[in-house]
Each structure stands twice: as C-alpha cells, then as structure tokens.
A and B are shown apart, each in its own frame.
Chain A
C-alpha cells in the first residue's frame, strides 16, 4: 500500500494582515507632526548647501499675504510689527512662567531650540524682521527653510 505524502502548505495567514496594517497606521500617525502648516501658501527663497533641521517642533511662517503663523495657526492678521514681535517672543519664551510653562522653547537645551522659518520669498523686511528678532530674543536657533538653488 502506498501512503500519499502529506503536502506542507506554507501560506501567510491573511487574518494577520489587518493587525499589521493597523500597527503601521498607529506608527505613522505618531510620527506625523501634530502641527500641520501645509495649508499655508508660500514660496521659499533660494539657497545653497541646505541642511535638514535638528528638530521640527516649532515653525513660524509668513504667507504670500504677509500673515504670520505660529505652528500653523494665525498669530495675528491685524497687529503691527511691534505687537507681532512681542506676541511671538512671549509664546516662544516666557521667563516669568513656572517651570514647564515657559513657552514653546522653554528651558530646552542648545541644539534643540530650532525654530523653522517658512517665509515667502517676496516678504518685505518690515514683516519678517520682527519674526527674526523675536526668535533670536527668545534664544531660538533660526532655520530658514529654503529651496536648493540650481
């Protein structure tokens, strides 16, 4: 009598696919930045030898219309440059705050105090100067987001 050899089937369990996909989904959602500023309309200026920023926690943007944003939220549409400078400096670093509540930069160590600047290329000096000054006054490390020059 000849006994038939049992065939070994090695198939990937289809049931596990859903679980794998959901784990990947959670992974990407955690990695994605909470503050999204992709809706801001701006065109970067050109630069050479560009580098990636150390951290991407804080971003300040000025769009085509000259509106200033902090982490994707409008800072002010009507305030003058001095008011924007004060608002931004206070939001980034508040020396009178309690420990842990000293603004977005707070007591972060050097090297982790990066502030991304996404400024539209034609923005006039009167609009972007207060932003640069506020970031430097708060002890931030400026990172101008630029486009590689061809």
Chain B
C-alpha cells in the first residue's frame, strides 16, 4: 500500500486577513495623528537692497542680550526710544501698547514695516516668537535686518 505524502504548502487562514488589516489600520491611525501641526503663519518679505531709503522712518525693534529696544522715529508720545527688560513678564503687553501707538497714524504696507534686528546670537526662539507676535498683533509687518560684518584690511 502506498502512503500519500502530505503537501507542505499550506494556505494561510483567510479568516485572519480582516483581523490583520484592522490591526494595521489602528497602527497607521495612531502613528499619523500624534504630531501637532497648529501654529502661527508669518510672512516675511524678501530682502531688498533699497531698504535704506525707508530707514529713517521705519520703526526698529532691536533684541539685545538683556533688553528689547523700540525706536520710533517721529514718535507722537515724545519717547522715541524705549527699552524693555527681556525677562519682564508683561513684555508682550508693553510691546503691543507701544507699537500700537507708533503705528496708529501709519497707513499703507511700507509705513507699517517694523525692522527687527537681533544683536544677540543666543536669543532663544521662544523670545523671537513672543516679540514677532507682539509686532503682528499691533498691526506691523516684520522685516528682518541683519548686522553686516565689514572686515577692514
């Protein structure tokens, strides 16, 4: 009598396919939805070479290692240069109040430009966000100003 050899190829059970698929769905859902994406939009105009023409009228905000200095040419309140401590808990509110006053009579995009210059390379990102947030809330348009390093030979 001949004995039949059992085939080694066995089909996977089809009933398990739906379970596998549902586990994969849960895996992709969990992986996809954890990352936060909410934030704040900011449009910074491209650098232009002829910005110097407007420099005399532009509001300047300088970030120094210890202070935030706001310089408003032709200031109405008679205080063109005002300095705020970086660690002041009311910094945001103070900046908004100062800049709102400075921008009050200015119409048009060019007049509302606020030039931000950071003189402290170690200034943290959260401080930058707090200052730019105050400028935007006051109605200003942010422009980055870089300190040019000139080497004299």
Contacts and interface: CB of A to CB of B under 8 A. Distances in A.
A29 interface: yes
A25 B43 contact: no
Name A's interface SS.
mixed
A32 B121 contact: no
A48 B125 CA distance: 15
A142 B121 contact: no
A136 to B, nearest CB: 4
A56 B14 CA distance: 38
Nearest to A37: B35
A24 B29 CA distance: 11
Interface string A60-97: 00000000000000000000000000000000000000
A124 to B, nearest CB: 5
Given A17-B18, A21-B18, A47-B40, A121 B31 contact: no
A147 B32 contact: no
Contacts of B21: 18, 21-22, 24-25
Interface string A117-133: 10111111110110011
A50 interface: yes
A137 B45 CA distance: 8
B90 interface: no
A38 interface: yes
A105 interface: no
15 contacts: A22-B21, A33-B32, A45-B125, A50-B38, A50-B40, A51-B38, A51-B41, A53-B39, A119-B125, A124-B124, A128-B128, A132-B44, A137-B47, A143-B40, A145-B37
Given A44-B36, A121-B126, A122-B125, 19 more contacts: A14-B15, A18-B18, A20-B18, A28-B28, A36-B31, A45-B129, A46-B129, A47-B40, A51-B39, A56-B37, A122-B124, A124-B125, A125-B120, A125-B122, A128-B125, A129-B118, A133-B146, A143-B40, A144-B41
6 closest Cβ pairs, A-B complex = A21-B21, A45-B126, A18-B18, A50-B38, A145-B39, A126-B121
